[in-house]
Structure 1
Amino acid sequence: MEMQAVARRWLADQGVIQVRDGWVSDKKPGLLLTANQVAHSWAGDVFAEDLDAADQLRLTFGLLDLLGDYWVTCEIRFANEGAEGALPVDVLWDGYRERLEADRDVEAVTYSLWVDWFEDHTTSATAFAEVLGNDIDRVVVERSEDLLRRARRVLECSGPVRWTVKEPTYRTAVRVPALHSALFQGILASFHDVYGDLEPAAALALLDQLDLPANTQHLAELRHVLAAGHKNHYRSPGAWDEAVRACS
């Protein structure tokens, strides 16, 4: 919340303030702006501020908390790949981990992981390790609600991560029943996502270890396509429809 307050003050210095139904800028006080419009117009400017890279990044995370808009994460990614060089990795991934553990909506953060960091195979291994893989043993031992919340969120959007990268984490997470539903969603996304990746036999073996309600939606169909050796919905057109027919 502290960085959110700092971000609010920074926006006010830019002439942007929050009102009941949105945001207004002193340049066009009669025009009501959405959070997305504010993010597009001002989030990138943080990286031009006379601050060191770590403080720029912390301020941008404060904007993310304040606006809740995915575009702020895009500006972080742009800055990380910019001419000034990569952002401080400790601040970058601490920022993601902190928000993944927060008891509030973090759709912008999980969407960013999924479509930007995890779908890009030049970054997915590092990103997955930083937000979960390096900590999965700690999750298993401590099982605090914050850690479990982070683990669930990462597992659910981990479909595009290469199977060889995520399988060890998946196998460890099986030991925690509270993560079984999220593991199922991760395996399901690994099959259905355009960039999803899995090995059918290994995924089926994991699936069979999950304690899930018998009426779990898509469980029978997923088991069917994996048993048939299919790796991905888009590589096996018709396989899912066949599974639906077989399991109906």
Structure 2
Amino acid sequence: MEAAARRWLADQGVSQVRDGWVSAGAPDLLLTSNQVAHSWAGDVFAEEDLDTADRVRLAFGLLDLLDDYWVTCEIRFADDSAEGPLPADVLWEGYRQRLAADRDAEAVTYSLWVDWFEDRTTSATAFAEVLGNDIDRVVAERSEPLLRRAGRVLECSGPVPWSVKEPTYRTTLRLPALHPALFKGLRAGYHDVYGDLEPSAALSLLDELDLPADTRHMAELRHVLAAGHGNHYRSPHAWDDAVRSRS
């Protein structure tokens, strides 16, 4: 779809040059990928020659081409618009494919974290679609793309409600290769403003991780969870107390 996105941009008069992008309307003005995303990504969803599913695919092609978070914002806006929701199978397959790909996925994981996982109206569905529904397959197959996708989702899963993610977290214990990512998810669940942890259950998971005892922040996280704290922002001094207890 990246090639299709490039052709679509060319039809809009936008082309890539050595140091960025230019438009036919202002050929002497060099544009960044972010500027292209802000100016044209939303227009994909008004493309009359495409059905809704192909508009979504084209938008993901733009994401591949521009590697800019704003493209994911336009996808979310379209899903939440009066013409939405977008076809769920196409939407979430687009996320899954890019989470599994052997290329940078920062725009995708950031989108999951701040747009889908922090929103309690979408977090359960989003988490299920990108990992929860097929964690058993990840454990059974253990292929590199599946492990890559799972690791990326776990690392940004801090805001997902505990009741939603705990079963997936517990299944993940069967995959030592994902323990570092699971630890980052637990740590983010504590530190994220919208993070969600159940302290005793999270401590139980933490104790089962196969990680070096001196893993950075492991002792502090164990300390605050053992003290019954579930979120840094509800107990702002607890982490500092944990740090001092080690010195």
| TM-score, length of structure 2 as denominator length | 0.99
Separation (CA, whole Å) in 1 of partners of 2:165 and 2:183:
13
Question: Within 5 A, what are the aligned runs for 1:5-20?
Answer: 5-20=3-18
Partner of residue 34, structure 2: 36
Structure 1, residues 132-173: CA drift from partner, whole Å, max 9, x if none? 000100001100000000000000000000000000000000
Partner of residue 70, structure 1: 69
Partner of residue 129, structure 1: 128
Instruction: Report SS of the residue matched to 2:208.
Output: coil
Partner of residue 148, structure 2: 149
Separation (CA, whole Å) in 1 of partners of 2:20 and 2:214:
42
Separation (CA, whole Å) in 1 of partners of 2:230 and 2:213:
23
Q: Once superposed, what is the RMSD of the aligned Cα atoms?
A: 0.5
Separation (CA, whole Å) in 2 of partners of 1:170 and 1:54:
32
Instruction: Report SS of the residue matched to 1:208.
Output: helix
Separation (CA, whole Å) in 1 of partners of 2:15 and 2:179:
43
Separation (CA, whole Å) in 1 of partners of 2:95 and 2:174:
24
Shift of residue 85, structure 1, vs aligned partner: 2.1
1:223 to 2:225 alignment: no
Q: What amino acid does structure 1 have at the position aligned with 2:107?
A: A
Shift of residue 25, structure 1, vs aligned partner: 0.5
Partner of residue 46, structure 1: 44
Instruction: Report SS of the residue matched to 1:154.
Output: helix
Moved over 6 A (4+): none
Instruction: Report SS of the residue matched to 1:18.
Output: strand
Separation (CA, whole Å) in 2 of partners of 1:85 and 1:57:
11
Separation (CA, whole Å) in 1 of partners of 2:83 and 2:199:
42
Question: Within 5 A, what are the aligned runs for 1:80-119?
Answer: 80-119=79-118
Q: What amino acid does structure 1 have at the position aligned with 2:36?
A: V
Separation (CA, whole Å) in 1 of partners of 2:12 and 2:215:
50
Paired residue total: 246
Q: What amino acid does structure 2 have at the position aligned with 1:33?
A: L
Partner of residue 58, structure 2: 59
Partner of residue 239, structure 1: 238
Instruction: Report SS of the residue matched to 2:21.
Output: strand
Separation (CA, whole Å) in 2 of partners of 1:237 and 1:107:
28
For structure 1, list consecutive stretches of 5 or more residues without a partner in the other structure: none
Structure 1, residues 171-201: CA drift from partner, whole Å, max 9, x if none? 0000000000000000000000000000000
Separation (CA, whole Å) in 1 of partners of 2:66 and 2:90:
20
Shift of residue 237, structure 1, vs aligned partner: 1.2
Separation (CA, whole Å) in 1 of partners of 2:144 and 2:84:
35
For structure 2, list consecutive stretches of 5 or more residues without a partner in the other structure: none
Separation (CA, whole Å) in 2 of partners of 1:39 and 1:192:
31
Separation (CA, whole Å) in 2 of partners of 1:151 and 1:85:
28
Separation (CA, whole Å) in 2 of partners of 1:40 and 1:198:
35
Separation (CA, whole Å) in 2 of partners of 1:72 and 1:115:
14
Q: What amino acid does structure 2 have at the position aligned with 1:206?
A: L
Structure 1, residues 13-59: CA drift from partner, whole Å, max 9, x if none? 10100011100011111110000000000000000001110000000
Partner of residue 170, structure 1: 169
